[in-house]
Amino acid sequence: MAGVHISTTINGDMVEFACPQDETLLNSLRDRVGLTGVKEGCGTGDCGACSVTLDGRLVCSCLVLSAEVNGRNITTVEGMSEEGKLHPLQEKFIEHAALQCGICTPGFLVAAKVLLEDNPKPSEEEIRYALAGNLCRCTGYDKIVRAVQAAGKEMRKKRR
């Protein structure tokens, strides 16, 4: 099968790679760009472990073809901390023990960041529905929701 050549911005850096036409963004990110923080839980859009943003929008990278991302802007969990400092969400996830095995964590962090940027003060219900596309089998979501609430608070404080 003919390959495609992709040039794109990932976590602020220019990245180029070549891949088969039908390769998913998930596989390119993991196998060609080396961003294995993006996880595969299902490959069918049902678990959210592969969540990334594409031009600021939350997507399942297993449902996006790499051929579609030429010239576009991608962020992954690897791009969340800035200047060597953890993002408040990352800090609060650790502080609130919002992860057990941690395989779902990258997807939750990316999705929660999009949520808090859109809606800095979400209600519990809004958090639960915004994260309903991300499966976690370990935690029962309790500590995840609390971590997102705490991070929201922290970010609001910083903004003031």
Partner 1 sequence: MGHDTKFTNQEFKLVGTRPARPDGVDKVTGRARYGADISAPGQLVGLVLRSPYAHAKIKKIDISKAEKLKGVKAVITDADLPDNTKGNRDLLDILENCMARGRALYDGHAVAAVAAIDDQTARKALKLIKVSYEKLPHVTDVDEALKDGAPIIQDFVVDPRTKKNSNLCKLTTLGHGDIDAGFAEADYIVEQSFKTEQTHQGYIEPHACLATLGPDGAGELWVTTQGPFAFRSTCAELLGLDISKLKVTSSEIGGGFGGKTHVWVEPLALALSRKANRPVKMVMSRDEVFRASGPTSSTSIDVKMGVKKDGTITAAHAVLRYHNGAFPGFWGMLGAMTSFACYDIKNIKPVGYDVLVNRPKVAAYRAPSAPMAAFAIESTVDMLAHKIGMKPIDLRIKNAAKEGSRASYGPTYGPIGIGPTLDAAKNHPHMRAKLKKNQGRGMACGFWFNFGGQTCVDLNIGTDGSVNLIVGTVDVGGSRASLSLIAAEELGIAYEQVKTNIGDTASLGHNDMTDGSRGTFSSGMATIFAARNAIEVLKERASKMMDVPLEAIVWENGTAKAIGKGHSNMAPLSLKEIAAAAPKTGGPIAGHKEVVADNAGVSFASHICDVEVDPETGSTRVIRYTVIQDAGKAIHPDYVEGQFQGGAAQGIGWALNEESIYDKNGILQNPGFLDYRIPVCSDLPFIDTQILEIPNPNHPYGVRGVGETSIVPPLAAIGNAVSNAVGVRMSHIPMSPMRILKALDDA
Does residue number 50 form part of the binding site for partner 1 (CB under 8 A)?
no
Structure tokens at 79: 């791009």
Map residues 94-123 to x or -, x wherever contact with ligand FES holds by CB under 6 A: -----xxxxxx-------------------
Handedness of CA 79, 152, 108, 60 (dihedral sign): negative
Give the pairing type, strands 73-75 and 13-20.
unpaired
Does residue number 46 form part of the binding site for ligand FES (CB under 6 A)?
yes
Binding partner 1 (rule: CB under 8 A), the pick from 8, 26, 33, 41 is: 41
Strand ranges, E, within the chain:
3-10, 13-20, 51-54, 57-60, 73-75
CB 81 → partner 1: shortest distance, Å?
6
Give the pairing type, strands 3-10 and 73-75.
parallel
Coil, helix or strand at residue 133: coil
Gap between the Cα atoms of 76 and 55, Å rounded: 12
Does residue number 112 form part of the binding site for partner 1 (CB under 8 A)?
no
Closest CA to 11 of 40, 35, 27: 35
Beta carbon nearer to partner 1, 79 or 160: 79
Beta carbon nearer to partner 1, 6 or 104: 104
Gap between the Cα atoms of 93 and 108, Å rounded: 10
Beta carbon nearer to ligand FES, 16 or 46: 46
Does residue number 106 form part of the binding site for partner 1 (CB under 8 A)?
yes
Binding partner 1 (rule: CB under 8 A), the pick from 15, 39, 75, 152 is: 39
Gap between the Cα atoms of 153 and 120, Å rounded: 8
Sites of contact with ligand FES (CB under 6 A): 40-43, 45-50, 60, 62, 99-104, 136-139
Chain residues in the site for partner 1 (CB under 8 A): 1, 20, 27, 30-31, 35-44, 46-47, 49, 76-78, 80-81, 86, 89-90, 93-97, 99-106, 109, 125, 127-129, 131-146
